Every structure is written in C-alpha cells, then in structure tokens.
Structure 1
C-alpha cells in the first residue's frame, strides 16, 4: 500500500508530500520547496529510504530545495514536464524576489510527459500533464488509492493562479475539466497549499469550476 504524509514547508506553507510503499520501505518526496530539516526528520521518523524526488512544477516553493535534497539523499529528481525548464533555471532569481534563502536551480534527471509513470517501491503513479498554472505542470495519480497530488492546479474552493509568465486561465480550466475531473468524484487530492479535498466536492461547489461536466 502507498502511504502519504504531508509536510508543510516554506513561508508559503506549501504541502510537500512524503510517499512510501509499506512493502519495500521505498519512498519519494514530492515538491520539496525548502525546510529540508523538516523533510529529513519525517523521512527518519517513517524509517523509509527515498529513491526519487518528484516535482509537479518549477515554482520556488515547490522546487527550491530539490537540488539540496537530491544531494543529501543521493536521489534523482524527476519532473515536471520540460516546458517548465525556464522556471527551474530561474529558481535563484525567484528566491531573490520572494526572499527565500538557499534555493537552488535544479536540472531534473528525468523530464516527465503525459502518460508516463513513476515508481515508489512496488507502487506506480501515473503522470498527467496539466498545464495552465505553469506550462509544464504535472499531476501524480495513484489509481488504486484514488489519490492525486495536484500541485497548484486545483485547491479546496479555488484554482491555481494564472498571472505568472506563461500561465493561462483557459488552459488551466481545461486541465481541471478534461484531465482531473474524469478521474472520478471519489478521488482525494493533495493540493499545493491548504486542505485536501475530493474532485467530487470541487465539481459540486468550487466557484471557479463547480458545475462543470
């Protein structure tokens, strides 16, 4: 079985996630934006071995600590989709803008594409390219557990911002409507910030995408 522990990091309270397979004890860290001591403490508490670092997109609060964590754990970085290269290459500039210290540019070991899969021990996550917030944003979906890690695409009661470079509102709405909601109303999702929700709850009541078929 796949387990998920949320670790809030950075001044933006970004939901970094620790995923692990209980059969193998192998794990992945999703979106290590910073506060690596919190992430490493969670890894130690759960007694797991991190085999990869996964990124949903290239914004600093999601990716700013990836390079340092990769060195600390000798783990490869996978994701996002390559259209977010400019964001990852500009992480240090993002750090100066938002007052983040220690954020580093990162070059993923593997860019991800729609339909790819990533392994966490014996568990498999499906990769869904869901642009709009950023052009290379991806979502990680575990079909059996009915769990999606959606980064900043969708939130409980809201949606991701589209006023950053190469963000696009219509594209974001299309990603939610055409790629996420069809996965099923029963899917629980971990957003990049704030509480978890379900696609069904957001389809019914989210003021931005509620009522979309």
Structure 2
C-alpha cells in the first residue's frame, strides 16, 4: 500500500496541480486544480483514479481557477480547504481573473474549510493539515507521514519561497511558518511546490538563501 501522485503543470503560470491517490483502492484527490480542466479530466481517466474530493492549499486564481469546472465534471465532489482566512481571495476571484487576464472565474466557497490538525483521507491514505500563513493568511500544507511527502503550495520552492507582497501576505510570518511547521517534519521529506521542481526540506535547509539554517544535516 502506498501513495501515488502525478504532477500536472496547468495555466500560463505553470502551476503544479497534483493528482494523488491510494494505489490499493484507486481513490484519490486533486490538489490545486488551477485550470486546463479538460487535460486534468483526461489524465484522471487514464490513471483510473476515483477522485473523491478537490483540496485547495490557498485562494490564488492559478491554484483554484478550475475548481468549479472540475467538480462539475466529477459529479459534484466536495471541495476541501483552504483555511477560512483565505475566503477573501475566493470571494475576489472575478477581480483576480481580470487582473491576470484569465477566463472569468466566479467566486465560490469550499464545502469545508481546513484548520491546523485536520486530516484529509482518501482510500487508505491520510494527509495531515498544517496552517502555514505568510504567502496568504489561509494557506495550508498537506503532509503524508507514510510517504514522507508534502504538498506545500506556494509556501516554499526549490531555491526560493512564496511571494509576500500580495494583500495580507507577510514575509516574517512566512519564514516562521516554514521553520516551525515544515522543518520539524524532517529533512528527508520530499515536497511538491506550487511551481517548479520538487526538492527536500533538508536540501532547502542547507541551500535555500531565504531559509537556510545552521542545523547539522
């Protein structure tokens, strides 16, 4: 029994949408369907994954823009997350669409908000939820203890960190989220960022100019 995943870059922002599933049941989730829903739906079909919910790390358009369309294609499955502090981003999706030149995306509310300590389950797999504000105030990270794998949205990147110049973003809050929520999970944890290639927490602790530390490896 193990966690499987496939990362699909979507939209002009090359946002990493992740299809994640339990290989013993084929039940799964889609994390951050920002767009290109036809491509996502075809791949879900090819993989044979029974998607039971959509999970959002935060409310930015390139991560959530395809949510309503994908949910409609998959027969009204629930939308889980992000943390309720990102509601203002979801309610402002029409404005975000115009700002970034995306197709008009209507505001929506998820079926369920996520809080620190919640769990997202599918098949025999469980992801733990960590509230990681800084890039946005309601950002969450999803962590699989068994797979030593984290889906971190726009909190941390390979060699960089999320932007903090958006409304209610805050640099010090983001650094604190990374160092107090992510690092304790372990240097061996692989993470899938919202954009760009994957990395490990240990690699970023050793080399990322924003958050490298002096911890022994």
Q: TM-score, normalised by structure 2?
A: 0.96
CA RMSD of aligned residues (A): 0.9
Shift in Å, 1:102: 4.2
Quick one: distance in 2 between partners of 1:95 and 1:59? 10
Q: Which runs of 5+ in 2 are unaligned?
A: none
* SS state at 1:180 partner: helix
Quick one: distance in 2 between partners of 1:50 and 1:85? 24
Where does 1:57-76 land on structure 2 (aligned, <5 Å)? 57-73=58-74, 74-76=76-78
Shift in Å, 1:72: 1.4
Where does 1:103-182 land on structure 2 (aligned, <5 Å)? 103-182=105-184
1:84 to 83, 86, 91: 86
CA contact (8 A) 1:65 1:104 kept: no
Q: TM-score, normalised by structure 1?
A: 0.98
1:189 to 188, 191, 197: 191
Shift in Å, 1:153: 0.1
Quick one: distance in 1 between partners of 2:134 and 2:36? 27
Quick one: distance in 1 between partners of 2:19 and 2:90? 21
The range that moved more, 117-126 or 197-206, is 117-126
* SS state at 2:135 partner: coil
CA deviation digits over 1:33-91, x for unaligned, max 9?
00001110110110111100000000000011111111111211000000000001111
Aligned to 2:208: 206
CA deviation digits over 1:20-44, x for unaligned, max 9?
1111111100000000011101101
Aligned to 1:52: 53
CA contact (8 A) 1:52 1:77 kept: yes
CA contact (8 A) 1:190 1:196 kept: yes
Shift in Å, 1:154: 0.1
Quick one: distance in 2 between partners of 1:67 and 1:174? 32
Runs of 4+ more than 3 Å apart: none
CA contact (8 A) 1:82 1:136 kept: yes
Shift in Å, 1:121: 1.2
CA contact (8 A) 2:188 2:201 kept: yes
The range that moved more, 165-174 or 104-113, is 104-113
Aligned to 2:96: 94
Shift in Å, 1:106: 2.0
Quick one: distance in 1 between partners of 2:144 and 2:150? 6
Q: Which runs of 5+ in 1 are unaligned?
A: none
The range that moved more, 187-196 or 62-71, is 62-71
Quick one: distance in 2 between partners of 1:181 and 1:106? 33
